[in-house]
Structure 1
Amino acid sequence: MASLLYFLCTFLTFSSYFREISAVNYVVKNEAGLQHTGGTKFENIIGGIPYTIQIMGQINNFIWSTVLQENTPEDRKVLENDSVFVYIKDFIGGEAVTWGSNRINVSAVYLRDYNEPMDLKWEFTSLLYHEMTHVFQWNGEGKCPQTVVEGVADYTILKANFFPPGFKPSGAGKQRDQGYDYTARSFEYCDTLTPNFVAKFNKMIRKTYDVSFFKTITGKPVEQLWKDYKAKYPGVNYSRLN
Structure 2
Amino acid sequence: MAAKTHNLSLLIALSLLQFQITLAVRLGATNNASSTPGGQRFDRDIGIPYTIKTMPEIANFIWKLFQQPTEGDRRHYPDDVVNVIIQDLQDGALGETGDNNVYMSAKGIETYPPGDGAKFMFTSILYHEMTHIFQWSGKGTAPGGLTEGMADYTVLKSPFYVEGYSTPGEGERWDEGYGTTSRFLEYCDSLRKGFTPKLNKMMREVYKPEYWKQLLGKDVDQLWKEYKAKSDSAPPTTPPPHRGNQGFDREIGTAYTLETLPGIANFIWKLFQQPSETSLRQFKRRVYTGAE
Q: Which amino acid aligns with 2:32?
A: E
Bigger share in helix: 1
Amino acid at match of 1:43: D
Q: What does 1:175-190 align with in structure 2 at a 5 Å threshold?
A: 175-190=173-188
The one-letter code sitting in structure 2 at the alignment partner of 1:207 is E
Between the two proteins, what is the percent identity of the paired residues? 42
Q: Is 1:37 matched with 2:37?
A: yes
2:271 paired residue number: none
Q: CA deviation at 1:127?
A: 0.7
Matches within 5 A, 1:64-213: 64-66=63-65, 68-92=66-90, 93-100=92-99, 102-115=100-113, 119-213=117-211
Q: Which runs of 5+ in 2 are unaligned?
A: 13-23, 236-292
Structure 1 residues 161 and 225, CA gap change in structure 2 (3 angstroms): farther
| Contact kept? 1:91, 1:108, Cα under 8 Å | yes
Preserved CA contact (<8 Å) 1:64 1:71: yes
1:174 and 1:118, CA in 2 relative to 1: closer, same or farther beyond 3 A?
A: farther
Instruction: Give distance in 1, aligned partners of 2:212 and 2:192.
Output: 10
Shift of 1:115: 4.5
Partner of 1:17, secondary structure, is strand
TM-score (normalizing by structure 2): 0.72
Shift of 1:191: 0.5
Q: Report the aligned-residue RMSD.
A: 2.0
TM-score (norm 1): 0.86
| Counterpart check, 1:21 vs 2:11 | yes
Is the Cα contact below 8 Å between 2:45 and 2:115 reproduced in 1?
no
CA contact (8 A) 1:150 1:180 kept: yes
Deviation string, structure 1 residues 182-234 (Cα, Å, up to 9, x no partner): 00000000010111111100110111111110111112221221111112211
Structure 1: distance between partners of 2:189 and 2:11: 29
Q: How far 1:162 moved relative to its partner?
A: 2.1
Local SS of the residue matching 2:232: coil
**Separation in 2 of the partners of 1:75 and 1:162?**
25
Give the match's secondary structure for 1:16: strand
Matches of 1:146 and 1:236 in 2, distance apart?
29
Runs of 4+ in 1 over 4 A off after TM superposition: 115-118
Contact 1:172/1:236 (<8 A) preserved: no
**Cα 1:129/1:121, change in 2 over 3 Å:** same
Q: Is the 8 A contact 2:113 2:121 kept in 1?
A: no
Q: Name the amino acid aligned to 1:180.
A: Y
Match in the other structure for 1:51 = 50
Q: Structure 1: which 5+ runs fail to align?
A: 1-9, 238-242
Task: Measure how far apart 1:54 and its partner are.
Answer: 0.8
**Aligned residue identity for 2:64:** S
Alpha-carbon separation, structure 1, partners of 2:105 and 2:219? 39
Residue 273 of structure 2: aligned partner = none
Q: Name the aligned partner's letter for residue 56 of structure 1.
A: M
Give the distance between the partners of 1:21 and 1:169, measured in 2 at CA: 37
1:226 aligned counterpart, secondary structure:
helix
List per-residue Cα deviations over 1:114-144 (Å, max 9, x = no partner). Answer: 3489811100000110000000001001110
CA gap of 1:25–1:201, structure 2 versus 1, over 3 A, is: same
Would the alpha carbon gap of residues 117 and 234 (structure 1) be closer, same or farther in structure 2, given more than 3 Å must change? farther
Work out which of the two has the higher radius of gyration on C-alpha atoms and give 1 or 2. 2
